[in-house]
Amino acid sequence: MWRFVGHPGPLHLLGTSIKEDRLAHAYLVTGPPHVGKTTLAFDLAAAVNCEGASPPCGECPQCLHVWGSRHADIQLLGVAEEEGQKVIKIDAIRDVAHQAHLNPFEGRSRVIIIESAEHLSDEAANALLKLLEEPPPHLLLLLLTASPDQILSTIHSRCQRIDLHPLSTEQVTEALTTRWEVPDKDASALANLSNGCIGWAAGAWVDSSIMETRDRRLQRLTTTVSAGLEERFAYAAEIAGLLPQQRTAVRETLDLWAKWWRDLLITKANTSEGVDAEPPTTEPTTTTLLTVVGQILRTQELLDMNVNPRLALEALMLSWPWIPDDDYK
Residue pLDDT, tens place only, 8-41: 999 999 999 999 999 999 999 999 999 999 999 9
Q: What is the pLDDT of residue 294?
A: 94
Which residue ranges make up each domain of the chain?
A: 8-163, 167-206, 219-327
Beta carbons of 141 and 151 less than 8 angstroms apart: no
Instruction: Tell which residue, 70, 50, 47, has the closest CA to residue 60.
Output: 50
- Give the Cβ contact number of residue 120 at 10 Å: 28
The proportion of the chain whose per-residue pLDDT surpasses 90, expressed as a percent, equals: 77
Tens-digit pLDDT profile for residues 200-247: 999 999 999 999 999 999 999 999 999 999 999 999 999 999 987 788
Q: What is the distance, to the nearest Å, from the Cα of residue 62 to the centroid of all Cα atoms in its chain?
A: 27
* Measured CA distances, 271 to 123, 173, 218, 265, 292 (Å): 52, 19, 20, 10, 20
**Amino acid, res. 297:** L
Tens-digit pLDDT profile for residues 176-200: 999 999 999 999 999 999 999 999 9
**Residues contacting residue 101 through CB under 8 Å, at least 6 positions apart:** 136
Beta bridge partners of 74: 111
Strands 85-87 and 110-114, sheet pairing: unpaired
**Amino acid, res. 223:** T
Using 50, 70 and 90 to split pLDDT, how confident is the model at 280? low
**Residues contacting residue 127 through CB under 8 Å, at least 6 positions apart:** 90, 93, 94, 97
The proportion of the chain whose per-residue pLDDT surpasses 70, expressed as a percent, equals: 93
Instruction: Tell which residue, 243, 265, 260, 263, has the closest CA to residue 313.
Output: 243
The alpha-helical segments, DSSP class H, found in 30-121 are 37-49, 61-67, 90-100
Domain boundaries 8-163, corresponding CATH code: 3.40.50.300
Tens-digit pLDDT profile for residues 36-78: 999 999 999 999 999 999 999 999 999 999 999 999 999 999 8
Q: What is the pLDDT of residue 264?
A: 85
CA atoms lying within 13 Å on the CB side of residue 165: 6
Using 50, 70 and 90 to split pLDDT, how confident is the model at 305? confident
Using 50, 70 and 90 to split pLDDT, how confident is the model at 281? low
- Mean pLDDT score, 309-326: 88
Q: What is the mean pLDDT of the chain?
A: 91
Omega before 56 within 30 of 0, i.e. cis: yes
pTM: 0.85
- Mean pLDDT score, 98-113: 95
